Amino acid sequence: MMRQYELVERVQRYKPDVDEALLNKAYVYSMQKHGHQTRASGDPYFSHPLEVAAILTDMHLDEATIAVALLHDTIEDTSATRQEIDEMFGPETGKLVEGLTKIDKLDLVSKKAAQAENLRKLLLAISDDIRVLLVKLADRLHNMRTLEHVPPDKRERIAEETMDIYAPLAGRMGMQGMREELEELAFRTLNPEAHRTVTERLRELQEKNSGIVAEIETALSDLFEKKGITAKVESRQKKPWSVFRKMEAKALSFEQLSDIFGFRIVVPTAEDCYRALGVIHTNWNTVPGRFKDYISTPKQNDYRSIHTTIVGPSRQRVELQIRSEDMHRVADYGVAAHSLYKDNGSGYTARNPDAIRETNAYAWLRRTIESLAEGDNPEDFLDNTKLELFHDQVFCFTPKGRLIALPRGATPIDFAYAVHTDVGDTCVGAKVNGRIMPLITELKNGDEVEIVRSKTQVPPSAWESVVVTGKARSAIRRATKAALRKQFSGLGMRILERSFDRAEKPFDKDKLKAVLHRLARKDVDDVLTAVGRGELPSQDVLRAVYPEHQEERAATPKATRDEGWFNLRNAAGMIFRIPGRGSSRKDRHKKQEAALPIRGASDDLPVRFAPEGAVPGDRIVGIVQPGSGITIYPIQSPALTAYDDQPDRWIDVRWDTDPDRKERFGARINVTAINEPGSLAEITEVIAANDANIHSLSMVRTAPDFTEMQIDLEVWDLKHLNRLLGQLRNIGSVNSARRVNG
């Protein structure tokens, strides 16, 4: 633990005329008041305000701010009172300590109105004196550094609060160094597995590229020295949270990131920044579209630098930041970089008088306080303030007031998965600000989103191309795979039961489990799914379980060219007649329902397609309809679940297409489009342009802003249908286009 004289020495290094008496008095008072109190880690509680003070000395803050850091928990956690602190340290210090006490309970998971009131207190205190914010952020930083000692239930809440409130607030005040560390510590707590993975990948990449990084640093330094420019060149690596956020927001893999390494060039003055830029651009080719001048046009948080990307040494793409020493200090410490000092009781000054009050960061704070003066109700104030605070995010609310931060471009589907994976998986619709809206609606700051759910819903695979968050994308992928796996597993079970029954052998999952190694499958469900998909023949499974079984093969059927028919035994052991290649056109069109030969189905029975249709390229099954023939279904049709308990009605059928004869087949699609003039015309034009035919069109559901329509099409095959769906989704007015039961 830092000793009293060590704290004074730290301040003296940057402020020789430090008021030692003030620091000594605050040190002793705080230590006495906290007495024998301990933290969750078991350390003396006084170590916490001492570490907060140490963090602020790294920012070169004045002794008054350091004293407030030492005292910041005394009113809340000890017997100290505001009156006592006023008497010992002055009313100004007492006011600051009380301000920190009021905002200490800022709680992200509290009710919306309470959040608004807490945020109101925080911003009022900050606007009155910037030191409140600096002490509060330092307090939060030390708490995050020691978060592992906090109980797990509180740990996650504190990390969420840090990520959603304090880190963005530090960033808005230009304190990028503190923002990065707060985000990093919160990321490690909220998603330890992702943090561990990204950190390891970054470590491996750093080891692999250390030689290239050193080569680039040397080349840049030598060039500046040759041109007479004083410059410090240092490499930098993206932080794990920054890497993970970019991967998630842009759906990129780690290997696809091109800006993990960058280089920072620090020169004495702003004029030197442009000299250095000229030297760089005259020696190496630039990457078009990768130049930004934040010196002439600073960011809202007062960040100033020149950003450029070149094709540098060894033909490597190199990202560069060029800034002056003052700019570098502001980039790390923001408003704290202006070195506030107390000036004989007349207020706060900086190296440049009034610099603090004129920063963009403070301009934002002034606008926020003006909204308070205009009498916004608490909830409106919360909305307006956080929308300003999270300008790089979309900040939405659940109906109960829970705040959900999403990347720009997020949809209600992203919102649903951000609330909970189960909410996303069962999402069937959304109300945005009380109105039913398409699920691809781009959310805006302040939207209130209510998710409509159904327990029978399975997320369509098409959602994967709509969402923007990695969490939603991964969950959709898992859910669709699980749904398909379940479907194929059930079909595989029925196929094996009948196959074993024909062989007069009992089917038992336990026996199947004993021969998994022979089938190269990890579990029984894998075997069933592989059989259902057609990847593993049922006879192979039968022979694996009963090696002594000898399959009785039927004689190969012969086609009778004169009649144009031949018999075929299907998977269920039933014999059917199908039209042979030598059959006449009249025979092939004998029944309209069986316009296309389907291997495994008999022309003695009418063959019909299910209402949703089936097209060549689909995996299909036939269901015997007593007294009316056979109905052909695509394997993914939910209608097949009605026949799960009637295995004898299932027939294994396959397409037997004639390449010389072109014919369209029915398929049903659902299209959701925005209600605007010409949207239906655009849809029908795309269908016609793709050589498809509309058999019927009906409006399934209409709302003030969108319409869901059902279209029965006639297409050539599955590839034709998928190409058409892809082009329909590219229409600006189309929200979604999907195959019914596809």
| Averaged pLDDT of the chain | 78
**Of 192, 220, 245, which residue is a domain's last?**
192
Which of 142, 170, 192 is the last residue in one of the domains?
A: 192
Task: Look at residue 521 and give its three-state secondary structure.
Answer: coil
Query: Beta-carbon neighbour count of residue 106 at 10 Å?
Result: 19
pLDDT of residue 53 exceeding 90: yes
378 in any annotated domain:
no
Highest-pLDDT range among 59-73, 164-178, 620-634:
59-73
Confidence of residue 674 (pLDDT cuts 50, 70, 90): confident
pLDDT band at 71 (very low <50, low <70, confident <90, very high): very high
* Residues 242 and 287 occupy one common structural domain: yes
Judge contact between 61 and 137, C-beta under 8 A: no
From 77, 161, 184, 705, active-site residue? 77
Domain span at 647 = 565-655
Residues 451 and 522 in one domain: no
Q: Which two tokens stand for residue 540?
A: 């192979």
Q: Residue 420 belongs to a domain with what CATH number?
A: 3.10.20.30
41 located within any domain: yes
Report yes or no: 652 and 630 within 8 Å, Cβ to Cβ: no
By mean pLDDT, which of 3-12, 53-62, 347-356 is the weakest? 347-356
| Beta strand spans in 340-460 (E) | 341-342, 348-349, 394-397, 403-406, 427-432, 435-437, 449-453
pLDDT tens profile 684-714:
999 999 989 998 999 887 766 778 899 999 9
Integer CA distances (angstroms), 486 to 61, 88, 512, 529, in order:
63, 73, 18, 8
Q: Which residues pair with 451 in a beta bridge?
A: 430
Indicate if 223 and 250 belong to the same structural domain.
yes
Question: Of 287, 306, 336, which one is at a domain's C-terminal end?
Answer: 336
Weakest-pLDDT range from 333-347, 392-406, 500-514, 611-625: 333-347
Confidence category of residue 370, pLDDT binned at 50, 70, 90: low
Rounded CA-CA distance 46/537 in Å is 72
In a domain, 85, yes or no: yes
- Residue 126 predicted with pLDDT over 80: no
Q: Which of 76, 161, 380, 656 is catalytic?
A: 76
Identify whether 552 is part of a domain: no
> What pLDDT, on the 0 to 100 scale, is given for residue 124?
65
* Res. 590: pLDDT tops 50: no
> pLDDT category, 624, cuts 50, 70, 90?
confident
The verdict on whether 77 is a catalytic residue reads: yes
Supply the CATH number for residue 39's domain.
1.10.3210.10
Report if pTM > 0.75: no
Q: In this model, does residue 380 exceed pLDDT 60?
A: no
Distance CA 98, CA 736 (A): 55
**More confident call, 18 vs 565:** 18
The domain total for the chain is: 6
> 19 with 136, same domain?
yes
Q: Does residue 589 sit in the same domain as residue 693? A: no
The answer as to whether 144 is a domain residue is yes
pLDDT band at 183 (very low <50, low <70, confident <90, very high): very high
210 with 282, same domain?
yes
pLDDT of residue 382: 54
Q: Would you state the pLDDT for residue 418?
A: 87
**Domain match, 162 and 212 both:** no
Q: Given this model, what pLDDT does residue 127 score?
A: 64
Task: Tell me what percent of the residues of the chain surpass a pLDDT of 70.
Answer: 78
126 shares a domain with 9: yes
Whether 286 has a pLDDT exceeding 80, the answer reads yes
Do the bridges between strand 575-579 and strand 598-599 make them parallel or antiparallel, or are there none, so unpaired?
unpaired
Residue 527 inside a domain? The answer is yes
76 is catalytic: yes
Count Cα atoms within 13 angstroms, Cβ side, for 334.
27
The residues, ordered by sequence, that sit 6+ positions from 58 with a Cβ below 8 Å of its Cβ are none
Is position 729 within any domain? yes
| Whether residue 96 sits in one domain with residue 10 | yes
Same domain? For 183 and 49 the reply is yes
- Determine, yes or no, domain membership for 375: no
* Whether residue 164 sits in one domain with residue 58: yes
Pairing mode of beta strands 629-634, 607-609: parallel
Judgement on whether residues 161 and 214 belong to the same structural domain of the protein: no
Q: What is the mean pLDDT of residues 541-564?
A: 56
pLDDT at residue 353 tops 70:
no
> With 60 as the cut, is the pLDDT of residue 627 above it?
no
